[in-house]
Amino acid sequence: MRTVVLGATGPTGRQLIDQALAAGHLVTAVARRPETLPARSGLTTIAADVADADAVDAAIAGSDAVVSALGVPPSRRPVTVYSAGARNVVAAMRRHGVKRLVAVSSSVLDPAWRPSGAFFFNHVLDPYVNRVIARTAHEDMRRMEAVLGASDLDWTVVRPSGLFDNPAVTDYRLTEHSADGVFTARADLAASMLRQLTDDRFVRKAVGVVTTEVKPSIPRLIWREAVRKNR
C-alpha cells in the first residue's frame, strides 16, 4: 500500500513510518523538515507544510491512503494546523481519487469521556491541561473533525488519551467515540491507525484508543510532554 504520513517527524509520525515500513507499505513521509528522517528502503520524504495546498496536493498524488499525525505543542495561542491541514488534504484526496484517511484527534473531544477510577486526572489534570492550556488545539481538532465529517472520504478519527512513549505495541483497547483510560502509548496509537487502513468497522467514525498493559510515571510524563514540540 502506498501510504502518505503527515506530521512524519513527530514522535507518532516516526512510529507510523517504522510500523508501516515493517508491514510492507511504501511510505511517503511529509514534514516541514524531513531531512531529520534516516533514509530507508521503501521511504520517500517530501518537504511540505500542510498549510500549502499545492505542496499537499503533490504529496498525495499517486497514493492509496493518508494517515495524519499532525500535532502542535499545548499552547493558549490560536491553532489552525488541524483544520487548515484537513481542508487541504481533503481537497487533494478528492482531486486524486484517494478515499482512505486516518487522522489523530483526542479523547477530549468526546463530552462523555471521563476515565474510570482517575480522580486526580478528572478533577485536576484534565480541567487544567486539556481544558485550559490545550484548549485552542482541541477547538481546532473539532474544526478538523467537522471538515472530515462533511467530506465524502472514508475517514476515521483516532482519539488517544494522554500520550507517552513505550518501545513496543501492546494489546491496546479500541472503543467507538472514546476509550475508558487515561493513557495511550504512541506505539499503540500508530498501530491502531495503520490497522484502520484494512479494517472498515470505524469508517466515518471516531474511535478511542487506550493502553492498559503499561502506565507511565505521571510527573515524568507531564515534564516530557510540556517540552515536546509536536505529537
**What residue ranges define each of the domains in the chain, with the CATH number in brackets?**
2-227 (3.40.50.720)
Residue 229 confidence class, pLDDT cut points 50, 70, 90: very low
DSSP 54-95: HHHHHHHTT-SEEEE-------SS---HHHHHHHHHHHHHHH
Report the distance separating Cα 141 and Cα 104, nearest Å: 9
Report the distance separating Cα 152 and Cα 175, nearest Å: 23
CA distance readout (Å), 92 to 26, 55, 86, 143, 209: 19, 10, 10, 18, 28
Joined together, the cell numbers standing for residue 89 give: 488534504
Tell me the pLDDT tens digit for each residue of 170-206. Answer: 999 999 999 999 999 999 999 999 999 999 999 999 9
Tell me the pLDDT tens digit for each residue of 62-95. Answer: 999 999 999 988 778 899 999 999 999 999 999 9
pTM over 0.75: yes
Using DSSP's 3-state secondary structure scheme, residue 6 falls into: strand
Report the distance separating Cα 109 and Cα 146, nearest Å: 12
Distance spanning both ends of the chain, measured CA to CA: 24
